[in-house]
Structure 1
Amino acid sequence: MLEQLGTMGRYLGQSLRLMVGLPDYQTYVAHMESTHPDREPMSYEEFFRERQEARYGGGQGKCC
């Protein structure tokens, strides 16, 4: 029962971070380790910068 509540809490936290645009670095690292073990994951700073570029497009499409 407590394990299920912990799992639900993690999913809720992840969902809330995604809703406000904060990427989940730990999920990315786990994905890289499980599906791409031959590739080194980006550092947190590189990951954050890449996610910002993906979200905001590096300034393209702005009116100002």
Structure 2
Amino acid sequence: MVKSSVEDWLCKLRTNVKTVFGMPDYEAYLERHQRVHPEKPPLSRQEFYTQYLKDRYDSGSPTRCC
């Protein structure tokens, strides 16, 4: 049981670190996708990150403050 709580804590820590640095979280995507679109297959990990990069850098708007 202790191992499970440590793994939970590490998972939450990883999610928070990714959020701080603006990185997408594939596991959070999978959880939300299952809740919102259970009838559709989710993107693969590679497709998810490719879509994230495309959305972020091909938008035509600046990606930095200065």
TM range (shorter): 0.5 to 0.7
The residue identity in structure 2 corresponding to 1:30 is E
Identity among equivalent pairs (%)? 23
Q: Which aligned pairs between 1:1-64 and structure 2 lie closer than 5 A?
A: 7-56=8-57, 58=58, 60-61=60-61
The residue identity in structure 2 corresponding to 1:18 is T
Question: Matched residue pairs, number?
Answer: 61
- Structure 1 or 2: larger helix share? 1
Which runs of 4 or more aligned residues in structure 1 lie more than 6 Å from their structure 2 counterparts after TM superposition? Answer: none
TM-score normalised over the length of structure 1:
0.66
Q: CA RMSD in A?
A: 2.3
